[in-house]
Amino acid sequence: MTIDEVVREVENNKIQQIQCLYVDNGGIVRGKVSSAKTLKQHMVGGIGLTPAMQAMNMMDELNLDSGLGPVGEIRLIPDPESFRVLPYLSRTASMMCDMVALTGNPWTVCSRSFLRRQVDHAKTLGFRIIAAYEDEFSLAHATPEGSYVPLDPTLCFSSSGMVAAHAVIADIMDALESQGIDPEQYYPELGHGQHELSVSPREVLQAADNQVRYRETVRAVAAQHGLKASFAPKPWPDQAGNGAHIHFSVWDIDADRNVFWDPDDPYHLSMLGYQFAAGVLAHLPALVALTCASVNSYRRLNPRSWSSAYTAFGPDNREAAVRIASVFWGNEARSINLELKASDSSANPYLALGGLIAAGLDGVARQLPPVPPLLVDPATLSDAEREKRHIARLPQSLGEALDALEKDEVLKEALGPDLLTAYVSVKRSEIAHFRLHDAEYEFRQHFEKF
Ligand code: GLU
Ligand code: MG
């Protein structure tokens, strides 16, 4: 869409407000609203923002170690391609923004520009990346005492769970579809009040934008049903965690061809696919600082939780951090993909997907040898067996993951020093914040914010 086409859509739909959104270093979706009349001016000239917003953590604390302070200015530039009328708010649309420095160049601390850079890097190699988030979320009632109780105590995949959540899920599916996000499968998940709704893959920048729209849509539609929806990685101590697994594949830039496909491999994964997976696994202890981005994330990554706890790789192995997803009949060559399980919705999706691409392409560049597929639950192996197979425990806290990120030359270079410094300091300030409080407070804050 061009700027003028967006303006016409705004007029035709009698839109009053356009939410111009971005995701910050704390993983929170924020933005400013443009009026319909001023939208054109905002698309051309940008919307002013203080750089300090990229120094803010999920508790709205400004973090001065980030290198970002009260002085200066950047511009939010809404991407015309991302314009969507919001079906759940009257006369309102949303657009995703890039952050641009006053020089006119992409701002070095902009996460969407970081993902664009990784997409461009892939393009120079002849590749485009296709991805889909597979989100789980919790639906809950707020009690008069101020706590949250799960909507339903039903069983995993149970038909009674489908009935319990039917009305809200129906409206969520409609609302996603009207924004160009195609629901694929829905089911009640293992945890009480936990539901999963998967969507079709898209070009990776759009997949990241869709993850923002998805989080916004689920929460808003649930609220209209009098429910709280939360994407907190671990919503309740005794219930399953909410994952946001990432399915991804690499395609030829010029041809409609999935280059992860190899009909002759036992798992139908090409050498390029094995190299990409090996890159992701090699960087995983650092990558999780981007994909499992909150203090609460590390309560989810436990053995025997199907969330992954080790740097393991295997075909249809639901305890492996990277799974080769088996192909579907009639669609073999297109459907081969890898799944990253060590990922949740407290992450900034632009950072998570950009980091995933940087890690995978590093495996391709170095032509890493295929990691032997693991056909058992890694938790059943002895420490010695795991060590022999180079299977390591994933970081057990956000702090450990950030330590690994600060040592990972490939991810550091991809992020660049400004984004890395801002991100790490914001995340370390969240660790410091939650250290001052008890576990109940941490659960509660993540439940409410995500
Ligand atoms: N809830 C699990 C997680 O934390 C995933 C269960 C599954 O879909 O396999 O990732
Ligand atoms: Mg699931």
Tens digit of each residue's pLDDT (9 = 90 or more) over 89-138: 999 999 999 999 999 999 999 999 999 999 999 999 999 999 999 999 99
The C-alpha angle with vertex 113 and arms to 176 and 172, in degrees rounded to 5, equals 10
Ligand 1 closest atom vs CA 245: 10
Q: How far is the CA of 185 from the centre of ligand 2 (A)?
A: 11
The CATH H-level superfamily of 3-107 is Glutamine synthetase, N-terminal domain (3.10.20.70)
Q: Which of 288, 298, 299, 307 to mutate to test the pocket of ligand 1 (most atoms within 8 A of CB)?
A: 307
Q: How far is the CA of 238 from the centre of ligand 2 (A)?
A: 17
Residue minimizing CA distance to atom 6 of ligand 1 = 306
The predicted structure's pLDDT at residue 107:
98
Q: What is the pLDDT of residues 7-28, one digit of tens each?
A: 999 999 999 999 999 999 999 9
Nearest ligand to the CA of 318 is 1
The Cα-based distances of 131 to 117, 175, 256, 340 in angstroms read: 16, 21, 15, 11
Q: Which of 137, 192, 245, 339 to mutate to test the pocket of ligand 1 (most atoms within 8 A of CB)?
A: 245
Nearest ligand to the CA of 198 is 2
Residue with tokens 């993540």: 446
Domain ranges of the chain: 3-107, 117-449
First to last CA, the chain: 31
Q: Which of 189, 246, 323 to mutate to test the pocket of ligand 1 (most atoms within 8 A of CB)?
A: 189
How many alpha carbons lie under 13 Å from residue 284 in its C-beta half-sphere? 28
Q: What is the pLDDT of residues 186-207, one digit of tens each?
A: 999 999 999 999 999 999 999 9
Nearest ligand to the CA of 291 is 1
Bridge-based pairing state of the strands 92-101 and 17-23: parallel
Q: Largest alpha-carbon pair distance within the chain?
A: 66
Ligand 1 closest atom vs CA 243: 10
The CATH H-level superfamily of 117-449 is Glutamine synthetase/guanido kinase, catalytic domain (3.30.590.10)
Residue with tokens 């129906």: 170
Give yes or no for residue 158 having a pLDDT over 90.
yes
The predicted structure's pLDDT at residue 399:
98
Amino acid code (one letter) for 199 = V
What pTM value is reported for the model?
0.98
The predicted structure's pLDDT at residue 84:
98
Give the contacts of 196 (CB within 8 A, at least 6 positions apart).
134, 135, 136, 137, 185, 186, 187, 188, 189
Nearest ligand to the CA of 302 is 1
Q: Which two tokens stand for residue 148?
A: 């949250």
Q: How far is the CA of 304 from the centre of ligand 2 (A)?
A: 14
Domains 3-107 and 117-449 share a fold: no
Which residues, listed in sequence order, are joined to residue 139 by a DSSP beta bridge?
Answer: 229
Q: How far is the CA of 189 from the centre of ligand 2 (A)?
A: 6
Nearest ligand to the CA of 305 is 1
Binned at pLDDT 50, 70 and 90, residue 223 comes out as: very high
Which residues, listed in sequence order, are joined to residue 95 by a DSSP beta bridge?
Answer: 20
Q: How far is the CA of 71 from the centre of ligand 2 (A)?
A: 44
Ligand 1 closest atom vs CA 190: 1
Mean pLDDT calculated for residue range 56-62: 96
Q: Which two tokens stand for residue 164?
A: 């319990």
Pocket of ligand 1 from Cβ distances under 6 Å: 136, 240-241, 243, 300, 305-307, 318, 341
Q: How far is the CA of 243 from the centre of ligand 1 (A)?
A: 5
CB 322 within 8 A of CB 340: yes
Q: Which of 187, 195, 198, 306 to mutate to test the pocket of ligand 1 (most atoms within 8 A of CB)?
A: 306
The predicted structure's pLDDT at residue 146:
87
